[in-house]
Chains A and B, each alone.
Chain A
Amino acid sequence: MTTTVTPPDAKPATQGPKRPRRPKSARAGGTLHGGPIAYAILIVFTLVSLFPLVWTAIAASRDNQRLAQTPPPFWFGSGLFDKLEIAWNDANLGEAFFNTTIVAGTSALTIVFLSTIAGFAFAKLRFRGRGALMLIVIGTMMVPPQLSVIPLYMMVAKLDWTDQLQAVILPSLVSAFGVFFMRQYLIQALPDEIIEAARVDGASSWRVVWHVVFPAARPAMAVLGMLTFVQTWNDFMWPFLVLTQMGNPTVQVAVAGLGRGYTPDQSLIMAGALLGTLPLLLVFAIFGKQIVGGIMQGAVKG
């Protein structure tokens, strides 16, 4: 499998000034302007994308009597902030946010660091076994996480780590995707001449990493960090197995727990779901452009 990275701002081939006019159909892809139909389709998809999120807030702002009527509510009621407060306290969300921040932060920082140095080695250093090891990295992306759940659970039980955050953090530190992503980025973004120059100046490998690789990789490190953070924040199965709601829940475990009573309070559940999603949506609203660019850079191509 040969792979390349899209240049950060891949533009269609620029056309020289003296080029003859081509028929309109020739200007396919990036240079064709979207018509009304394109906008209409995009707007419909955007509404479908955003509607469940907006409706979470609407449902959280209504009481249960109103939710159990037809037609369902389409606009906000007055109870949003009360419900958010109750959900916050009931689900112990303050602690859950704190736990999840620690879990997601630790694994994002570690994965970014380890993936960058490993990705650098795979991208730019020559060593025996490189091809085989890289194949193993790609292969590990195929191993389903459910295979590891049972022995990891046994390990955690044996170490008495149930309900402890390290039980969630440690298995989340392996990211074959991260290594692969950084390798793809560094192949292009790091000119060999700079490494050679640093070498000639007598820099050791660690100095090269510190003074050359890290600065060059900073944009990709930021994107990988954000993607990892989002993924760990949203992770459900493993935290659900090792953490209980009573001790150190992550946000996902706490939110899922809101729906588990005998007479579940629907609007309270929606308030919890909204609170669990809000921080990441804010991150996306602020860094959306960079994250989108990052996903597009890391995409696999032939």
Chain B
Amino acid sequence: MATRHDTTASPVKGGAAPGRPPEDAAAEKERRRREGLSRRWQRDIRWSPYAFVSPFFLLFVAFGLFPLIYTGWASLHQVELTAPTDMNWVGLRNYTRIFDDEFFWNAAKNTLTIGIISTVPQLLMAMGIAHILNYKLRASTFFRVAMLAPYATSIAAASLVFVLLFGRDYGMINWGLDAVGINPVDWQNDKWPSQFAVSTIIIWRWTGYNALIYLAAMQAIPQDLYESAALDGANRWQQFIHVTLPALRPTILFTVVVSTIGASQVFGEPLLFDANKGTSGGAEHQFQTLGLYLYEQGWVAQHLGRASAIAWTMFLILIVIGIVNYVISRRLRASS
């Protein structure tokens, strides 16, 4: 951003040159008119930036900040879904209630494991695909668009398809496993297979999108860096490690943060993947995420206060993850 200039240095003053006496009434009138214009001009320069940004901030206060604070307030009350305006102060009881609930810890663990097995392979594959797409290729636009097609698919549609593909008795994936001599897997009822299946939906939808983001960043890396690395005798793999990866670090951090936030909120996939059409994430809560647990507490058990406490706990966890991310990236920067 070194080459940026700000344009609103000083407004052009409308001919109100000081020190020259008015020659007659008409000129005096003209001078006043111009001064008026100039004042309006300055007001415009001064206040229009705020006019331009204020709609966003007004909407944000109404639909972002206010709910954030109100959720925190509601988490300290007993609130029922049937009468959301009746709030009884209970202090931190909602928090102690959910922390005592084994299903909260179960959901937290599931969110973490589903988050890891969906985010890590997704970003690694995206990196590899981006690297390949960065070659000179025929039909590269076709490949890019085709890989983005899952992004255009909704969670609802994708989850329903994957439920069929992962079916225990007649699903295509078990059929394929059977064909190579592997016993069928109960993808919906066993803990790890069901979490793997839910993660597959997420990986399928987001890998291509992340690959494009990495590709964009790769294309902005100056060629000279590769040339001088090659002159120093670096092979292609070393170039990738020592040139591409460092240059991509901010982008990688960005995708990690965005994916972490996304993973902490997984909701639609486990909801629709449940064979019993329930909200508990499988008969034994084997793939219930925090998002689903929040929904179950708030909208099925009708305890909005408790659901608010879950939401705020999730928020606090994200803040901690954000700080850890920040510290790690500082360390990385300092060490290089």
List the interface of chain A (C-beta within 8 A of B). 1-4, 6-7, 10, 12-13, 22-23, 25-34, 38-39, 41-42, 45-46, 48-50, 52-53, 55-56, 59, 67-72, 114-115, 117-118, 120-122, 124-127, 130, 133, 136-137, 140, 142-154, 157-158, 170-171, 173-174, 176, 179, 187, 192, 195-196, 199-200, 204-206, 209, 230, 233-234, 236-237, 240-241, 251-252, 255-256, 258-260, 266, 269-270, 272-274, 276-277, 280-281, 283-285, 288-289, 291-292, 295-297, 299-302
Contacts and interface: CB of A to CB of B under 8 A. Distances in A.
A205 B45 contact: yes
A118 B56 contact: yes
B67 A49 contact: no
B291 interface: yes
A72 B171 contact: yes
Nearest to A125: B49
A170 B68 CA distance: 16
Given A125-B7, A150-B74, A230-B151, A13 B224 contact: yes
Consensus secondary structure, chain A interface: helix
Contacts of B145: 284-285, 288-289, 291-292
B175 interface: yes
14 contacts: A26-B227, A29-B226, A38-B137, A42-B133, A42-B143, A71-B172, A148-B71, A150-B74, A154-B84, A173-B63, A237-B268, A255-B160, A280-B154, A301-B251
A34 B143 CA distance: 13
B235 interface: yes
Contacts of B251: 299-302
A50 B53 CA distance: 41
Residue from A13, A50, A146, A285 having most chain B Cβ neighbours under 10 A: A146
The 7 closest A-B pairs by CB, nearest first: A302-B250, A148-B67, A288-B145, A26-B230, A205-B48, A34-B135, A296-B216
B218 interface: yes
B152 A283 contact: yes
Given A55-B172, A288-B145, A302-B251, A49 B226 contact: no
Contact of B221 (A29, A144, A236): A29
A285 B146 CA distance: 9
Interface stretch (B20-28, B101-109, B162-170): B162-170
Nearest to B228: A26
A69 B212 contact: no
A230 B143 CA distance: 20
A187 B135 contact: no
Interface stretch (B116-124, B191-199, B312-320): B312-320
Interface residues of B, number: 123
Given A6-B220, A39-B137, A120-B52, A53 B153 contact: yes
Contact of A252 (B155, B163, B172): B155
A22 B227 contact: yes
B160 A127 contact: no
Contacts of B144: 288, 292
Given A50-B146, A158-B85, A187-B1, A147 B71 contact: yes
Nearest to A10: B219
Contact of A114 (B55, B85, B133): B55
Consensus secondary structure, chain B interface: helix
B91 interface: no
A154 B74 CA distance: 11
Contact of A45 (B51, B147, B217): B147
Nearest to A288: B145
B95 to A, nearest CB: 15
A179 B207 CA distance: 25
Residue from B161, B175, B251, B291 having most chain A Cβ neighbours under 10 A: B161
Contacts of B113: none
Nearest to B158: A52
Contacts of A59: 161, 164
A10 B254 CA distance: 21
A78 B307 CA distance: 47
B84 A52 contact: no
Interface string B188-218: 0000000000000000100111001101111
Given A72-B175, A297-B216, A153 B84 contact: yes
Nearest to B226: A28
B261 interface: yes
A284 B154 CA distance: 13
Given A70-B170, A150-B311, A170-B63, A284 B136 contact: no
A144 to B, nearest CB: 5
Given A114-B55, A292-B212, A151 B66 contact: yes
Contacts of A301: 216-217, 220, 250-251
Contact of B204 (A3, A23, A49): A49
B25 to A, nearest CB: 25
Interface in B217-247: 217-224, 226-227, 230-231, 234-236, 239, 243-244, 247
Contact of B161 (A12, A55, A69, A143): A55
Given A70-B175, A276-B154, A25 B236 contact: yes
Nearest to A40: B132
